[in-house]
């Protein structure tokens, strides 16, 4: 699925107002982080996560992004995105917890 569900879109719109974020992906031994202000850009019918401008973006199969849960990681806000069975990626907010608006949109995303 190349485009977001309406609930995914609402959550990522709220995240785009959260300031500088860290997009983290990877398993043991291999990981990647991207840092910047988050936005969603639709390119040729595909919703992409952009951080720090359009040059730095992530292609996502939105059909896999089924749930999101929030936690605290050493004082940073952290949202974990999964397909129920495995973690797909995480988004951290180094400046602290996410706003209540973001928390209210978590849970099932499809």
pLDDT of 53 > 80? The answer is no
Taking 90 as the threshold, does the pLDDT of residue 56 lie above it?
no
The mean predicted confidence, pLDDT, of the chain is 93
Q: Say yes or no to pLDDT of 92 above 90.
A: yes
Q: Give pLDDT tens digits for 20-46.
A: 999 999 877 888 999 999 999 999 999
Residue 42: what are its φ and ψ, rounded to 5°? -95, 115
Phi, psi of 8 (to 5 degrees): -60, -45
Q: What is the side-by-side order of every strand in the sheet holding 76-82?
A: 57-59, 46-51, 30-43, 20-27, 87-93, 76-82, 67-73, 107-108
Q: What are phi and psi of 12, to 5 degrees?
A: -70, -30
CATH top-level class of 6-108? alpha beta
């Amino acid at each position: 699925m190349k485009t977001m569900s309406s609930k995914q879109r609402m959550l990522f719109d709220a995240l785009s107002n959260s300031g500088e974020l860290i997009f983290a992906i990877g398993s043991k031994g291999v990981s990647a982080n991207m840092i910047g202000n988050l936005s969603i850009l639709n390119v040729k019918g595909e919703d992409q996560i952009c951080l720090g401008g359009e040059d730095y973006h992530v292609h996502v199969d939105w059909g896999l992004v089924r749930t999101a849960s929030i936690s605290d990681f050493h004082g940073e806000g952290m949202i974990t995105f999964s397909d129920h069975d495995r973690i797909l990626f995480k988004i951290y907010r180094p400046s602290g917890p996410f706003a209540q608006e973001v928390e209210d949109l978590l849970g099932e995303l499809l």
